[in-house]
Structure 1
Amino acid sequence: MRGKDEETGEFLSPSRTEQRREALEIRSLAELLVSQPAARLKQINLPDGLFEEVEAVQRTPSHIARKRQLQYLAKMLRREDDEVLEGIRAVLESDKLEARREAAALHRTEAWRERLLVEGDEALGELLDAHPEADRQSLRQLVRKATQERARDKPPHAQRELFRTLRDLLGEDEADTGET
């Protein structure tokens, strides 16, 4: 049998399924690269030939021609060293992690704003205990204005201002914990 050591029975090369799986992973990496803006591609530090090919795929308007170009890009990626591919994957994964962190920070800010608008002084006291550097009076006024806006179905100007204030306050807290 081809690809199998007759004495030990071990396979000498990856199976066709493994080869297909690797090729599909490379193809998805190529698609991810093509979806990146040009400025981000320059930050990734692609080899020159790959960078030019990614740009060529991005410029191709026709669906079939784009698919063919993408296949060629994947072929070029398969020829690259594993270190280059891992470097590209690492940079793209760090982008995903950063986006998740930013989304989580926005969700925390939104949760605090909702708590302040629903619970009122109880939540405000808890926020001020956690962040003693916050301006107590301005926060209290913003919460009062935002609650009134919500009750009267007015445009959420104070609610937005409260969100910005909380984002700045909670963002400073995350920056302090990240540095230490």
Structure 2
Amino acid sequence: MIDYDDEYEELAPSKSQIKREMHALQDMGKALSELTPSQLAGIELPDEVRDAIAELLRIRSNEAKRRQLQYIGKLMRKVDAEQVAADLEAIKAQGTLSVQRQHLIEQWRDRMLSGDKQAVGDFIDAYPQVDIQHLRQLVRQALKEKSQQKAPAHARKLFRYLRDTIALADSQ
């Protein structure tokens, strides 16, 4: 005797599984709505999904937002969810990389402004394309500012110079 119920259970996902998948698509739609316009432009989406996301951003009522997110989740069923998830993960990774680079720049600047004489030499060794005279001048001016307890204008200039130098080295 064939048990059709067991065979049916293997073929069809449960109602709970379907709900989990729908909520995951809604969450993906919410994550898409939190992206900047340039980030969103980099993800391949149908125009109706883009329009629904734009509409979500205009809505102020919480209940209307909830309904719009459900609608976006429904539209997301037609989209390659794995590709969109991969694109979102890449954007998140890019943001993480940006934060790591920011911390690296801050560490170099703080090390140079702490009075560590070796810091400038280490930076020159790590980034040989740097304008050594300009770097040393910025460090001197920032240290002078710090000792006189003035606003850190030169420390900011030093930070920007370090950022530009590191970005140039990363692009090569």
TM-score normalized by the length of structure 1: 0.81
Q: Give distance in 2, aligned partners of 1:140 and 1:47.
A: 52
Query: In the alignment, is residue 164 of structure 1 matched against residue 163 of structure 2?
Result: no
Counterpart for residue 12 of structure 1: 11
Q: Give distance in 2, aligned partners of 1:90 and 1:30.
A: 14
Counterpart for residue 77 of structure 1: 76
| More displaced 10-residue stretch of structure 1: 32-41 or 134-143 | 32-41
Counterpart for residue 124 of structure 2: 128
Q: Give distance in 1, aligned partners of 2:129 and 2:39.
A: 37
Distance 1:54 1:132, change over 3 A: closer
* Equivalent runs, 1:80-99 vs 2, <5 Å: 80-81=78-79, 84-99=80-95
* Equivalent runs, 1:38-117 vs 2, <5 Å: 38-78=37-77, 80-81=78-79, 84-117=80-113
**CA offsets per residue over residues 4-50 of structure 1, 9 Å max, x none?**
228xxx73323344333222211101111222345544442321222
- The one-letter amino acid paired with 1:25 is A
Q: Give distance in 1, aligned partners of 2:120 and 2:44.
A: 47
> 1:3 offset after TM fit, Å?
5.4
Distance 1:15 1:140, change over 3 A: same
Q: Give distance in 2, aligned partners of 1:73 and 1:131.
A: 47
- The one-letter amino acid paired with 2:114 is V
- The one-letter amino acid paired with 2:64 is A
> 1:53 offset after TM fit, Å?
2.1
**CA offsets per residue over residues 94-147 of structure 1, 9 Å max, x none?**
221221111111111110001111143211111112222222222222112211
- Conserved 8 A contact 1:120-1:143: no
Query: Which fold has the larger relative contact order, with Cα–Cα distance below 8 Å and residues 6 or more apart in sequence?
Result: 2
Counterpart for residue 29 of structure 1: 28
Moved over 6 A (4+): none
Distance 1:26 1:129, change over 3 A: same
Distance 1:30 1:132, change over 3 A: closer
Q: Which runs of 5+ in 1 are unaligned?
A: none
Give the number of equivalent residue pairs. 170
For the residue of structure 1 that corresponds to 2:130, the secondary structure is coil
